[in-house]
Amino acid sequence: MPLQRVLVTGCWGFVGKAATKSLIEDGVDVWGADSHGAPGRFPGKGCVQIDLSRPAEVEKLIAWIQPTHVLHLAAQSSAGRSFKEPLDTIRNNLLATLAVLDAIRKGESRARLLAVGSTDEYGPVDDAHLPLAEARPAQPANPYALSKAVQTQCCSLYHAVYGVDVVMTRSFNHTGPGQTDTFVLPSFARQIAEIKHKVREPAMEVGNIEIKRDFLDVRDVVRAYRALLEKGKPGEIYNVCSGTSYSLKELLHRMCALAGVRVDVRVREERIRPLDARELRGNKLKITRDTGWSPAIPIEETLQSLLDYWERVVVGSGTTHTA
Tell me what pLDDT residue 321 has: 41
The verdict on 165 and 182 lying in the same domain is no
Tell me what pLDDT residue 41 has: 78
Backbone angles phi, psi at 272, to 5 degrees: -100, 130
Residue 233 carries which DSSP code?
P
The verdict on 130 and 224 lying in the same domain is yes
**287 assigned to some structural domain:** no
Residue 279 carries which DSSP code?
B
Tell me what pLDDT residue 237 has: 98
Integer Cα distance of 65 and 103 in angstroms? 12
The verdict on 153 and 255 lying in the same domain is no
The verdict on 114 and 83 lying in the same domain is yes
The verdict on 145 and 189 lying in the same domain is no
Integer Cα distance of 152 and 230 in angstroms? 19
**25 assigned to some structural domain:** yes
Pairing of strands 246-247, 212-213: antiparallel
Integer Cα distance of 182 and 89 in angstroms? 16
**Full domain range(s) for residue 45:** 5-174+216-240
The verdict on 159 and 248 lying in the same domain is no
The verdict on 125 and 228 lying in the same domain is yes
* Cα–Cα distance list, 41 to 21, 70, 180, 247 (Å): 12, 21, 20, 38
CATH of the domain at 193: 3.90.25.10
The verdict on 185 and 311 lying in the same domain is yes
**pLDDT under 70: residue ranges of the chain:** 37-40, 275, 318-323
Residues ≥6 apart with Cβ < 8 Å to 269: none
**311 assigned to some structural domain:** yes
Domain count, the chain: 2
Tell me what pLDDT residue 275 has: 67
- In this prediction the pTM is 0.93
The verdict on 183 and 40 lying in the same domain is no
The verdict on 49 and 136 lying in the same domain is yes
Across 57-202, the runs of DSSP E, i.e. the strands, are 69-72, 112-118, 166-171, 173-175
Tell me what pLDDT residue 52 has: 96
**140 assigned to some structural domain:** yes
CATH of the domain at 103: 3.40.50.720
The verdict on 152 and 268 lying in the same domain is no
Tell me what pLDDT residue 322 has: 36
